[in-house]
Structure 1
Amino acid sequence: MQKHPDADAFVREYLTRPTDATLRLVFADWLEETGVSHNAAWAHFIRLRDEAERYGSDSDERLELLRQADKYVPKIRAQLTIAASLFVGYPKSLVQLLPAPNITVRLTNYTIPRGVLELVPESVARENLVLPLDAQERTLLVAAADPHDCDTAQKLEFILDRDIVFVGALRADVQDAINRDYGRTETESVDSVLVDFADPVWDYFPYRSSLELAPETSPPIVALVNLILTEALNLRADRILLYPDIEALGIRYRIDGEWVERDPAPIRLLNPITTRLALRGQIDPNHIFAQPFGMELLTGAFVIRVHERRFRLRVTVQPSPDGPTTQIDIARDGDN
Structure 2
Amino acid sequence: MKVFAHDTPEVENGSMEFDRETLQPTYRFRVGIPGSSYAYEIANRLGLNSAVLHRARELVGGHKSKLENLLADLDERLQKYQNLTGELSVKESQLAAMKKLYEAKVDELKQNEKKLKKEALEKAEQVLRDANTTMERLIRQIKEQQASREAIREAKQTLQQEQAKIKADKKVVSQKNREEKSKKKPLSSVKLGEEVFWEPYGASGVVLSEPDASARVLIQTGEVKIKAPLNELFSVKKSQKAKSKPGRVKINAKIEPIKTTEIDIRGMRVEEGIEIVDKFLDEAILSGMEQVYIIHGKGTGRLRQGIFRFLDRHPHVKSHHYPEWSLGDTGMTVVELKR
Q: Which has the higher strand share?
A: 1
The structure with more radius of gyration: 2
TM-score (norm 2): 0.26
Q: Which has the higher helix share?
A: 2
